[in-house]
Amino acid sequence: MDVIKHIKNKRLIFDGAMGTMLQAAGLEAGGLPEVYNIEHPDTVLEIHKKYVEAGADVITANTFQANALKLDGCGYSVQEIITAGVRLAKESGAEYTALDIGPLGQLMEPMGTMMFDEAYELFRQQLAAGERAGADIVLFETMSDLLEVKAAVLAARENTSLPVFVTMTFQEDGRTFVGCDPISAAVTLSGLRVDALGVNCSLGPSQLMPVIDKLLEYSRVPVMVQPNAGLPAIRGGRTVYDITPDEFSKYMSEIAEKGAAILGGCCGTTPEYIKRTVSAVSDIPFKIPARGKLTMASSGTNTVIFDRGVTVIGERINPTGKKKLKEKLREQDFGYLVGEAIAQKESGADILDVNCGLPEIDEARTLTRAVKEIQAAVDLPLQLDSSDKDAIEAAVRIYNGKPVINSVNGKTESMDAVFPVAQKYGAVVVGLCLDENGIPETAEGRLEIAERIVRRAADYGIPKEDIIIDCLVLTASAQQKLVIETIKAIRLVKEKLGVKTVLGVSNVSFGLPARPILNSVFLSAGFGAGLDSAIVNPMSEEIMRSFRAFKVLNNQDSDAGEYIARYADYKAEQQTAAAAKVPAGEMEGVGLKSMIIDGRRDLARSMTIELLKTKDPIRIINEHFIPALDVVGDRYENGTVFLPQLIQSAEAVKSGFEILKESSSAAGGGKGRIILATVKGDIHDIGKNIVKMLLENYGYDVIDLGKDVPPEEIVKAALENDIKLVGLSALMTTTVKSMKDTVAALKEAGSNAKIVVGGAVLNEEYVEFVGADYYGKDAGMTVKIANEVFGHNS
Partner 1 sequence: MSQKIQLDKSEVLRYLGHKNQNFDKSIDAVIDGCMDEIVKISRYRYIYKVFDIKIGFESGQSCIELQGANLKLTGNDIYEHLRDCRRCAVMAATLGIETDNAIRIAQSTDMLKAVVLDACAADMIEKVCDLAESEIRSSAEESGYAINYRFSPGYGDLPITTQKSLLAALDAGRRIGLTLTDSSLMVPGKSVTAIIGFTKDYSVKPKKRGCSVCSMRKNCKFRKAGSTCGRN
Question: Which residues of the shown chain bind partner 1 in the complex (CB under 8 A)?
Answer: 28-32, 103, 105-107, 110-113, 142, 144, 169, 171, 173, 176-179, 201, 237, 335, 338-339, 342, 376-378, 598-600, 639-645, 647-648, 650-651, 681-686, 689-690, 693, 732-735, 738, 760-763, 765
Shortest distance (Å) from residue 107 CB to partner 1: 5
Comparison of 32 and 518: residue with beta carbon closer to partner 1: 32
Contact call for residues 197 and 223 (beta carbons, < 8 A): yes
Comparison of 84 and 762: residue with beta carbon closer to partner 1: 762
Shortest distance (Å) from residue 580 CB to partner 1: 14
Comparison of 419 and 636: residue with beta carbon closer to partner 1: 636
- Strands of 194-276 (E only): list them: 196-200, 223-226, 232-235, 238-241, 262-263
CA distances from 447 to 443, 482, 494, 639 (A): 6, 15, 9, 70
Shortest distance (Å) from residue 508 CB to partner 1: 32
What distance in Å separates the CA atoms of residue 115 and residue 118, rounded to the nearest whole number? 5
What distance in Å separates the CA atoms of residue 621 and residue 625, rounded to the nearest whole number? 5
Contact call for residues 248 and 277 (beta carbons, < 8 A): yes
Any bridge partners for residue 640, and if so which? none
**Residue at 38: amino acid letter:** I
What distance in Å separates the CA atoms of residue 299 and residue 404, rounded to the nearest whole number? 10
Shortest distance (Å) from residue 20 CB to partner 1: 12
Q: How many C-beta atoms lie closer than 10 Å to residue 204's C-beta?
A: 23
Comparison of 162 and 653: residue with beta carbon closer to partner 1: 653
What distance in Å separates the CA atoms of residue 399 and residue 526, rounded to the nearest whole number? 30
- Strands of 125-215 (E only): list them: 137-143, 164-168, 196-200
**Residue at 527: amino acid letter:** F
Any bridge partners for residue 385, and if so which? 406
Shortest distance (Å) from residue 335 CB to partner 1: 6
> Three-state DSSP class for 759?
coil
Comparison of 342 and 525: residue with beta carbon closer to partner 1: 342
Comparison of 345 and 452: residue with beta carbon closer to partner 1: 345
Pair type for strands 196-200 and 262-263: unpaired
Shortest distance (Å) from residue 763 CB to partner 1: 5
On the 0-12 / 13-18 / 19+ scale of CB atoms within 10 A, 273 is buried
- Best CA proximity match to 428, nearest among 497, 353, 317: 353
Comparison of 198 and 599: residue with beta carbon closer to partner 1: 599
∠ CA 275-280-285 to the nearest 5 degrees? Answer: 125
Comparison of 648 and 787: residue with beta carbon closer to partner 1: 648
> Three-state DSSP class for 321?
coil
What distance in Å separates the CA atoms of residue 448 and residue 489, rounded to the nearest whole number? 10
What distance in Å separates the CA atoms of residue 325 and residue 319, rounded to the nearest whole number? 5
CA distances from 113 to 35, 465, 640, 709, 730 (A): 27, 36, 39, 10, 15
- Best CA proximity match to 108, nearest among 156, 33, 179: 179
**Residue at 623: amino acid letter:** E
Shortest distance (Å) from residue 113 CB to partner 1: 5
Comparison of 108 and 133: residue with beta carbon closer to partner 1: 108
Alpha-carbon torsion angle 648, 650, 656, 658, nearest 10: -110
Shortest distance (Å) from residue 131 CB to partner 1: 26
Comparison of 475 and 655: residue with beta carbon closer to partner 1: 655
What distance in Å separates the CA atoms of residue 783 and residue 433, rounded to the nearest whole number? 55
Comparison of 280 and 382: residue with beta carbon closer to partner 1: 382
Q: Max CA-CA distance within the chain?
A: 89
Comparison of 454 and 676: residue with beta carbon closer to partner 1: 676
Contact call for residues 232 and 259 (beta carbons, < 8 A): no
On the 0-12 / 13-18 / 19+ scale of CB atoms within 10 A, 36 is buried
Contact call for residues 744 and 771 (beta carbons, < 8 A): yes
Shortest distance (Å) from residue 640 CB to partner 1: 6
Shortest distance (Å) from residue 177 CB to partner 1: 3
- Strands of 75-227 (E only): list them: 96-101, 137-143, 164-168, 196-200, 223-226
Shortest distance (Å) from residue 152 CB to partner 1: 16
> Three-state DSSP class for 777?
coil
Comparison of 63 and 519: residue with beta carbon closer to partner 1: 63
Shortest distance (Å) from residue 30 CB to partner 1: 3
Comparison of 50 and 600: residue with beta carbon closer to partner 1: 600
Shortest distance (Å) from residue 378 CB to partner 1: 8
- Best CA proximity match to 200, nearest among 223, 242, 169, 231: 169
Length of the chain counted residue by residue? 794
Comparison of 435 and 708: residue with beta carbon closer to partner 1: 708
Q: Is 411 left (phi over 0), alpha (psi -120 to 50) or beta?
A: beta
> Three-state DSSP class for 787?
helix
Shortest distance (Å) from residue 486 CB to partner 1: 37
Comparison of 686 and 744: residue with beta carbon closer to partner 1: 686
Shortest distance (Å) from residue 171 CB to partner 1: 8
**Residue at 308: amino acid letter:** R
Shortest distance (Å) from residue 752 CB to partner 1: 29
Contact call for residues 198 and 223 (beta carbons, < 8 A): yes
Q: With b meaning 16 or more CB within 10 Å and e meaning fewer, what string describes 698-721? A: bbbbbbbbbbbbbbebbbebbeee
Comparison of 4 and 68: residue with beta carbon closer to partner 1: 68
Comparison of 177 and 563: residue with beta carbon closer to partner 1: 177
Contact call for residues 563 and 557 (beta carbons, < 8 A): yes
Shortest distance (Å) from residue 584 CB to partner 1: 21
Shortest distance (Å) from residue 293 CB to partner 1: 33
